[in-house]
Chain A
């Protein structure tokens, strides 16, 4: 049985000291061990951004792709080999700006991928421009007089896109984060986990303290029921999206793989590719 140490590799992350992404990395490593995975069973696909480097820091099959496209790559990996556990990850710009189309459609499609977003409300790698999750009025290099676009409510969007597992967490709450990632991996279908992961270098507003003061834990809301979608939506609206915990879970919706007609029960990557001659003759005859 692998432990979280087995998911560590020899590479030293190049994140700034204090960056929230360190804890996300640790949480993924712990969750992977806790659910009983071996490094060979896990593929981590990531986008481009500071956060995107994460695939190179976990001892597992890693694919660091292009900006905004971690989800299609991850879905392709999962379709090719359903035995692998596939985690996609990246930043708020990666997933909610350039890659937003894929995010919505991955939620609709429901291929079994766990998507972990490191949301720092800023573009870290390109040195501090506004992001879709930046608050209105937020001043950055690209919005010197404050952002005039409204901030995206990604959790509400996930609920309306049919996502069957919607969760939000905070990078310092390691225990909770590990537990949520475990649930996400175990969920059969697409899961979205948005993790507030502060950028200590470029975001001086949404700091660790700011999140501590503003985030409400769903555990503290009496009678909160994550299977109640209406309640989930209402709670998100009441708290301006600043909640943490498992927001919504629908374990009954079948995943894409379970629904595709004829989809091989054995990993497709293990298939013999040869086409029997009789079959070929039959296929040709259809054109005669």
Chain B
């Protein structure tokens, strides 16, 4: 019995690799297993190797596994590219059609099954995916009947016959596996799961659902990988709530349109990746100086320019904090799990209205697209706070005096009315202005307004600015990360502890304003600090040093080849760094 399985299906892009993984994963998720799926894909639609690696476990998992138990191959390239991940005792199941061969030195078993042939016999070669699922299930000891409900949901529309033949394909795949593998292969039978109902979703689903729950009613966006799922989800759902998604001509329009509708009182978001964020920079400054709430999601991917558009990277961090010219208050939050992405999306809208400034919800490709099992979300944690928003009619104005929308206050936040409010007329401008929004270059006023705006976030309260695992009063090493590296770091920790190191962990959740006071005690209590991040220049490490000091202890563990950190990467490299006194 195994508690954890790492499974991968690969082939040419456009061959249905995605749906094979999807059906397999949904069925197992419903049995109560915890799943984590990560797709390797390139930025083309047809052709090119693609694979979907799925972890199945009886415990929560949030990272790509180091190795592989089972590989389903629809072409030889899949075997050539991925076989090195298989450990001895692993299985390759290949389609007889391409006459699979094992690369030299590969210790896994190769089982050949005529996926395509069986599928064609049953009506269409498209069903080869189902045959593969059947074979997988036999190898795992999973009952084929498990798939009935999922197959009905997916193919039900196409009629009873299609459902039946797909189920038959699954059964034939299972039979074929038993027949060809017989006793030659040790089956990887999975320990039974708890049968609980949990969600199975990507980070972008959680962000989109969070936006909806957080009261967003409009979205303006321009498609880009890996952000598009957010607009695609919301365009399906927002019309039920009276709202919509507008696909704009570019990201400049997306951000400024969102500013327009936030100004007019509707929670509106936009979402993009690095290239789009670059285009939004001027608008972010406009939101800052006009004190208009704005929520922007940045799903980081490999940059610069078109960079590695379908690969993992975390290289937008400093640009998100410092981007836009001039100086404005801005809040940048970085969820490290899918659950956090949901709650943070809600919080982003609350903070944007409470502090009347731009809020960037920072994600990365692995968090945005990694598909995983998520515990049901807590409805009662959804709270909507709109800050100093006044929705009442105001008293009659004297001499057409404008409402003091930018009144200088102790906390820097001024009362806000929205257009349409009776007697609330005021002016908004990206030019420096006085309390009523009238342009002004008077030095005193400039100072007052500048300080007022910047003051707003000096006392920012954010529920959990750092996710901490602080098991040791004094640690040999403190691991620091942000966004999706959380899963791999968490898996590397027990291994490092087994090697005899005392490890603490801080995942930075509020990256700006930086929670220095929260981090300092952990830095002080650590002999060494390793900052783990997906970029080439150590941006988070710079941020930590700049804000909290302790530069002498801090070293970077970087990965920027496009692939996510595996727990083993962190374990091995950290161990080496610690062992040879590298730090």
> Are the chains A and B members of one assembly?
yes
Assuming the contacts A262-B244, A273-B384, asked whether A76 and B286 have C-beta atoms less than 8 A apart, the reply is: no
Min C-beta distance of A96 to chain B, whole Å: 15
Cβ 8 A contact of A59, one of B29, B400, B439: B400
Question: Which residue on A lies nearest to B286, using beta carbons?
Answer: A66
CB-CB contacts below 8 Å: A233-288 with B: 260-264, 266-269, 271, 273-275, 277, 280-281, 283-284, 287-288
What is the 8 Å Cβ interface bit string for chain A, positions 81-110, against chain B (1 contact, 0 not)? 101100000000000000001101100010
Q: A111 — nearest CB in chain B belongs to which residue? A: B246
Interface residues of A in 121-157 (CB under 8 A from B): none
Once A9-B402, A56-B427, A288-B200 are accepted as A-B contacts, the answer to whether A43 and B264 lie under 8 Å apart by CB is yes
Stretch at the interface among B138-146, B374-382, B492-500: B374-382
Interface size on B, residues (CB 8 A): 75
Given contacts A261-B239, A275-B212, contact A76 B258 (CB under 8 A): yes
Q: In B225-265, which residues have CB < 8 Å from any A CB?
A: 237-244, 246, 248-250, 252-254, 256-265
Q: Which residues of B contact A61 (CB under 8 A)?
A: 419-420, 424-426
Select the stretch in B39-47, B73-81, B428-436 that faces chain A. B428-436
Q: Total contacts A to B, CB within 8 angstroms?
A: 210
Query: Which residue from chain A places its CB closest to the CB of B342 in the assembled complex?
Result: A284
Residue in A closest to B254 when the chains form the complex, CB atoms = A72
A65 within 8 A of B: yes
Among B220, B237, B263, B282, the most chain A Cβ lie within 10 Å of the Cβ of: B263
Taking a contact as CB atoms closer than 8 A, the residue among A56, A102, A275 that contacts B249 in the complex is: A102
User: When the two chains form their complex, are residues B420 and A64 in contact, meaning their CB atoms are under 8 A apart?
Assistant: no
Contact of A191 with B by CB under 8 A = no
B343 CB to nearest chain A CB (Å): 13
Query: Which of the residues B266, B286, B424, B439 comes within 8 Å of A80, measured between beta carbons?
Result: B266
Contacts A288-B197, A288-B200 given; indicate if A274 touches B384 (C-beta within 8 A): yes
Nearest CB of B to A39, in Å:
6
Question: Using a CB-CB cutoff of 8 Å, which residues 159-218 of chain B contact chain A?
Answer: 197-201, 205, 209, 212-215, 217-218
Cβ of B421 within 8 Å of any chain A Cβ, yes or no, is: yes
Chain B stretch 78-117: residues in CB contact (< 8 A) with chain A = none
Interface: A62 (CB within 8 A): yes
- How does the 8 Å CB contact mask read for A51-87 relative to B, with 1 for contact and 0 for none? 0010110011111111001011111111111011000
| Interface status of A41 (Cβ within 8 A of chain B) | yes
Instruction: Name the residue on A nearest B349 (C-beta).
Output: A273
B467 CB → nearest A CB, Å: 23
Given contacts A59-B400, A61-B425, A101-B250, contact A69 B217 (CB under 8 A): no
- B471 is an interface residue with CB less than 8 A from chain A: no
Which B residues are CB-close (under 8 A) to A260?
239, 244
* CB-nearest residue of chain B to A88: B260
Closest Cβ neighbor of A74 among chain B residues: B260
Q: CB distance A287 to B379 under 8 Å?
A: no
Whether B486 sits at the interface, judged by CB under 8 Å, is: no
- Is B422 located at the chain interface by the 8 A CB criterion? yes
**Residue B320, interface by CB 8 Å:** no
With a cutoff of 8 Å between Cβ atoms, the chain A residues found around residue B265 in the complex are 80-81, 269
In the complex, what residues of A have CB within 8 A of residue B209's CB?
Answer: 283-284
> Assuming the A-B contacts A56-B438, A269-B420, A287-B201, are A69 and B264 also in contact, with contact meaning beta carbons closer than 8 angstroms in the complex?
no
Beyond A75-B257, A284-B376, A288-B198, 13 extra complex contacts between A and B, CB < 8 Å = A9-B400, A40-B423, A41-B420, A56-B439, A64-B429, A77-B263, A80-B261, A80-B265, A277-B379, A280-B377, A280-B382, A287-B205, A288-B200
Interface residues of A (CB under 8 A from B): 8-11, 39-41, 43, 45, 48, 53, 55-56, 59-66, 69, 71-81, 83-84, 101-102, 104-105, 109, 260-264, 266-269, 271, 273-275, 277, 280-281, 283-284, 287-288
13 A-B contacts (beta carbon < 8 Å): A61-B426, A63-B427, A64-B430, A66-B283, A72-B254, A79-B246, A80-B260, A268-B217, A271-B241, A275-B215, A284-B199, A284-B377, A288-B29
